[in-house]
A and B are shown apart, each in its own frame.
Chain A
Amino acid sequence: MRDLQLKRFVWLLVILGVVVSQTGCARSQRILEKLAINHTLGYDLDDDKQLYVTAAIINQGEGGSEVKQELISTEADSSKEAKIKLSRQTSRSIVNGQIRNTMYSIDVAREGIRKLIENLVRDPSISPRVKITIVNGSVKELLESKFPDHPNTSQYVDHLLQKNWKNQNIPQVNVYQFARDYLEDGVDPVAPVVRKKGDSVVVDGLGLFRDDKYVGKLSPDYNMLFAMTRGKYRQGEIYIKLDQEKLDGSVMLGTVSSDKKFNVRRKRNGGFIVELFLQVKGDIMEYSGKVPLDNPKDIRVIENGISAYISGKIEKMVNIMQEKRSDNVGLGKQVRNRLSYAEWKRLNWEKVYPEVTFRCIVHTKIKSSGEILEIPPQSSEK
């Protein structure tokens, strides 16, 4: 009997608690349609070197049904101050949980984006999958421009990056990956660069960072090659110009996959030789040269040509990075993993890096040349 009363008492407490907290908790409700959901954050530097924040917000019109993008921007010292200032400009409360993309103008990136990234990581409502994009030009201008085929600019840029990443045209770079590479010794982060071009946005290459500072960019040609050095490369396409002695024309390799392996050796004088072995496999999708494709021996010639092209290009890419003293491929990581801890600590990698000799050895395999061998030329002279 007493037990029963106790139980009733407990349940009374439960119900009471629920009722009381219902009123107390209403403050923390974030009902979907009452939110100004941030989609993209953009950072510019204005003329006085002051941070200028632009936010693209998903908003449905008052009472209406069409979901639109709304742009608000303000000058601020930090991203959080910007949030306060921005919220003065909208009727709903701004939330960060759905941010997909953050864009930095090259000027901002040059100054270093550590603080900005840090605050993105700090806020638990922000996803670690938020993309990091460098904009060649003004972010605000890019977001403000209307693209006739894409009514929602921020979404358009986001999807563009997403698609390019899926095709492995650019590496995926999000807050987590940027912070990871930034904090790891022996590798420096990268970020894709986009640019407005006429009525569309294009990927303008790969931004190279030394620590958190933007130091330059690679042209878009290097995108796939960079991806190959970074990790397992699957399902991509490469366009290759063959210009060795016997070869001419160009090859388009499809369904390319590659596996990589690094090897580190020491030079006599204390420097390092880093060798990258690449196994590239692919199908010929397009070929404009003269070598007949029905002969295994000649296929080997093309393979060698492709290998030479890729290794040359990659070595050149690393040279560019070495010039900018940014180790984006992660050679340092490879060297570190082959040294003892004491040796690695003694080594001043920053200094050693530009002196490292990098070699790329590529082995290409052509899986097939497509559905046909070759269409023989119809010579009309005969």
Chain B
Amino acid sequence: MKENPAPSLEYILHEFDQCVDLIHRKFPLLAADILYFDHLIDKNELEREILQPFANVQADEMGPLLSGSPFNASFNSKEIVLGILKGDAAIFHDSCVYLVALYGPSNRSIEQSETETVIIGPHDAFTESAFTNLSLIRRKLRSSHLKVIQLSVGEVVKSDVFVLFIEGIVNMEYVNEMIKRIRDIEVDIISDSNMLVQHIDDYPNTIFPLFLTTERPDVIVSKLSGGRLVVIMDESPSVISGPTSLFEFFMSPDDYYQHWVIGTATRILRYIAFVITITFTAIYVSITTYHYEMIPENLLYTLIESRSRVPFPPVFEALLMEITIELLREAGARLPSKIGQTIGIVGGIVIGQAAVQAGLTSNILIIAVALSAIASFVIPSYVMSASIRFVRFFLIILAGIWGNFGLMIGISVIVIHLTKLTSLGSSYITPIAPLKVNDWRDIFIRGPFWMLKDRPSQSRTRNKVRNKMKR
């Protein structure tokens, strides 16, 4: 442990040695020095809170002035260093140090979310600033029961983390567990909440995301009111909510803004998409490799025709095309959107057409692969859709080895794996196991609001009823 010497200008300056962006203002008349980072503070605030009062006082009036409101005396060097790093201005006067909170760097303004868009409903999304995010939540959730606990993570670099919950709705066991987990983190630096999630996972080795991360304040507000807790990390636009079940990743706020029939239909569509993504290519491989008898007669001829020129066994054919699609997707994601479109054309038309004409793949496989790729993008959560696409490869390989048997082995392994998973200690597949049929009306369908009377059982809230209306 380094010694913590008494605060002095020299020491602080020594700490910030070679930091050219540190501004050191001297007021010889007042015998005061001010240290701050120009880009972390709000210049108007500086003007109003420090420069103007300083211009209006004499040297002997400094004492009373500094004991006043915005000035906080500090006697701890470490605190001062941290304060400056956080956007405070440190005033050195008479061997005393005062900190003034002037934080106000330029931020990205509140914009639409790029990753989670909705058609109707609010369009604002979280930004990198935790305070902006908190304000977004507070604006939508005006309640004194919304509690915010501040924590920090990181050994070298401290990042602010806020745990939010609604008192009286949330189960405090979860909150305590979450706070404990965040406190137990001992790494040098965590720069994003998606990294933070991986440090507080129940099972670090699973490919399924165990906490929901979102950029949408309306989602977070609904999670809070559903009795879950929320973790905001400064400098990260994604906000974590937990405990989470697998099925939450298939929900979109759109479901609730639309009529419940439409919402239900969309939600069922997403589950169908999930099944298609996971199994479609695998079934193709399984059928063309082992179970030719399952093909209906009308399809048989086209399938034979399209397969007849393909030189590889179906597994390799399918893997080839799946990897191609993944390449296209990754290339498209890393490129600016205009070039991304070109990639789409190159991939969709050129590779697809040419591969069939060259006899590398059958056109039915192209349809299967494309369909399962499209289906994977239907899933609202990007993290989940990536996991599912990964799982697909596992199933394709198993289907190539043992056909339907392999496929079922694969599905069983996934199911057994899922049953093991927990999120904050509560089962990851909650409304199925433990079986809570009551929850199904908000999980597999989006029931009309008169049906959604209770909060989800996973939140284990004592305050169960959310809708007291009789109709």
Binding site for B on A (CB under 8 A): 18, 21-22, 25, 28-33, 35, 37, 58, 60, 63-67, 95, 97-98, 100, 125, 127, 155, 158
Residue of A nearest to B312 (CB): A31
Known: A21-B401, A33-B310. A65 touches B305 (CB 8 A): yes
- A158 and B292 CA atoms in complex are apart in Å by 19
B295 and A58 form a contact (CB under 8 A): no
B308 and A64 form a contact (CB under 8 A): yes
A98 and B300 form a contact (CB under 8 A): yes
- A95 and B291 CA atoms in complex are apart in Å by 11
- A370 and B301 CA atoms in complex are apart in Å by 42
Min C-beta distance of B309 to chain A, whole Å: 7
- Asked whether any CB of chain A lies closer than 8 Å to the CB of B304, the reply is yes
B401 and A60 form a contact (CB under 8 A): no
- Asked whether any CB of chain A lies closer than 8 Å to the CB of B289, the reply is yes
What residues of B have a CB within 8 angstroms of the CB of A95 in the complex?
Answer: 292-293
11 A-B residue pairings within 8 Å (CB atoms): A21-B401, A28-B290, A30-B289, A32-B288, A32-B307, A33-B304, A33-B310, A60-B308, A63-B309, A95-B293, A98-B297
Binding site for A on B (CB under 8 A): 288-293, 295, 297, 300-301, 303-305, 307-310, 313-314, 397-398, 401-402
- Contact partner of B300 (CB less than 8 A), chosen from A29, A37, A65, A127, is A37
Residue of B nearest to A158 (CB): B297
Min C-beta distance of B417 to chain A, whole Å: 12
B305 and A25 form a contact (CB under 8 A): no
A37 and B292 form a contact (CB under 8 A): yes
Known: A21-B401, A63-B309, A65-B309. A32 touches B293 (CB 8 A): no
- A30 and B313 CA atoms in complex are apart in Å by 10
What residues of B have a CB within 8 angstroms of the CB of A98 in the complex?
Answer: 292-293, 295, 297, 300
Kindly list 10 other residue pairs between chains A and B, CB separation below 8 angstroms, not including A29-B289, A60-B304, A98-B295. Answer: A21-B401, A21-B402, A30-B292, A32-B289, A32-B314, A33-B310, A37-B300, A65-B309, A98-B292, A100-B297
Min C-beta distance of A363 to chain B, whole Å: 40
- A100 and B295 CA atoms in complex are apart in Å by 12
Min C-beta distance of A373 to chain B, whole Å: 43
Q: Is the interface of A mostly helix, strand, loop or mixed?
A: mixed
Q: Is the interface of B mostly helix, strand, loop or mixed?
A: helix
- A125 and B292 CA atoms in complex are apart in Å by 10
What residues of A have a CB within 8 angstroms of the CB of B293 in the complex?
Answer: 95, 97-98, 125, 127
Known: A97-B292, A127-B293. A32 touches B304 (CB 8 A): yes
A31 and B308 form a contact (CB under 8 A): no
Known: A31-B289, A127-B293. A25 touches B401 (CB 8 A): yes
- Contact partner of A67 (CB less than 8 A), chosen from B301, B313, B398, is B301
Min C-beta distance of B31 to chain A, whole Å: 62
- A35 and B310 CA atoms in complex are apart in Å by 14
What residues of A have a CB within 8 angstroms of the CB of B309 in the complex?
Answer: 63, 65
Min C-beta distance of B185 to chain A, whole Å: 21
B313 and A29 form a contact (CB under 8 A): yes
B304 and A58 form a contact (CB under 8 A): yes
- A154 and B295 CA atoms in complex are apart in Å by 18
- A340 and B397 CA atoms in complex are apart in Å by 59
What residues of B have a CB within 8 angstroms of the CB of A155 in the complex?
Answer: 297
What residues of B have a CB within 8 angstroms of the CB of A97 in the complex?
Answer: 292-293
What residues of B have a CB within 8 angstroms of the CB of A21 in the complex?
Answer: 401-402
Min C-beta distance of B469 to chain A, whole Å: 49
B313 and A31 form a contact (CB under 8 A): yes
B401 and A32 form a contact (CB under 8 A): no
B305 and A31 form a contact (CB under 8 A): no
B313 and A58 form a contact (CB under 8 A): no
- A98 and B307 CA atoms in complex are apart in Å by 17
- A29 and B309 CA atoms in complex are apart in Å by 18
Min C-beta distance of B394 to chain A, whole Å: 11
B402 and A25 form a contact (CB under 8 A): yes
Min C-beta distance of A21 to chain B, whole Å: 6
What residues of B have a CB within 8 angstroms of the CB of A33 in the complex?
Answer: 304, 307-308, 310
- A293 and B313 CA atoms in complex are apart in Å by 67
What residues of B have a CB within 8 angstroms of the CB of A63 in the complex?
Answer: 308-309
- A32 and B286 CA atoms in complex are apart in Å by 11
- A33 and B297 CA atoms in complex are apart in Å by 15
Min C-beta distance of B207 to chain A, whole Å: 14
- Contact partner of A58 (CB less than 8 A), chosen from B300, B310, B398, is B300
A31 and B314 form a contact (CB under 8 A): yes
Min C-beta distance of A12 to chain B, whole Å: 15
Min C-beta distance of A127 to chain B, whole Å: 7
Min C-beta distance of A199 to chain B, whole Å: 23
Residue of B nearest to A159 (CB): B297
What residues of A have a CB within 8 angstroms of the CB of B303 in the complex?
Answer: 32
Most A CB within 10 A of own CB, among B290, B308, B310, B397:
B308
Most A CB within 10 A of own CB, among B291, B292, B297, B303:
B292
What residues of A have a CB within 8 angstroms of the CB of B314 in the complex?
Answer: 31-32
Residue of A nearest to B413 (CB): A14
Most B CB within 10 A of own CB, among A31, A37, A63:
A31
What residues of B have a CB within 8 angstroms of the CB of A64 in the complex?
Answer: 308
- A297 and B301 CA atoms in complex are apart in Å by 56
What residues of B have a CB within 8 angstroms of the CB of A30 in the complex?
Answer: 289-292
- A162 and B330 CA atoms in complex are apart in Å by 49
- A22 and B307 CA atoms in complex are apart in Å by 22
Most A CB within 10 A of own CB, among B295, B304, B397:
B304
- Contact partner of A35 (CB less than 8 A), chosen from B292, B297, B313, B402, is B292
Min C-beta distance of A344 to chain B, whole Å: 40
- A30 and B314 CA atoms in complex are apart in Å by 11
Going nearest first, the 9 A-B pairs with the smallest beta carbon separation are A97-B293, A33-B307, A60-B308, A32-B288, A33-B308, A67-B301, A32-B307, A32-B292, A65-B305
What residues of B have a CB within 8 angstroms of the CB of A29 in the complex?
Answer: 289-290, 313
What residues of A have a CB within 8 angstroms of the CB of B305 in the complex?
Answer: 60, 65-67
- A33 and B317 CA atoms in complex are apart in Å by 14
A58 and B301 form a contact (CB under 8 A): yes
Residue of B nearest to A29 (CB): B289
What residues of B have a CB within 8 angstroms of the CB of A18 in the complex?
Answer: 397-398, 401
What residues of B have a CB within 8 angstroms of the CB of A125 in the complex?
Answer: 293
What residues of B have a CB within 8 angstroms of the CB of A22 in the complex?
Answer: 401
Residue of B nearest to A25 (CB): B401
Min C-beta distance of B358 to chain A, whole Å: 14
Min C-beta distance of A109 to chain B, whole Å: 25
What residues of A have a CB within 8 angstroms of the CB of B288 in the complex?
Answer: 31-32
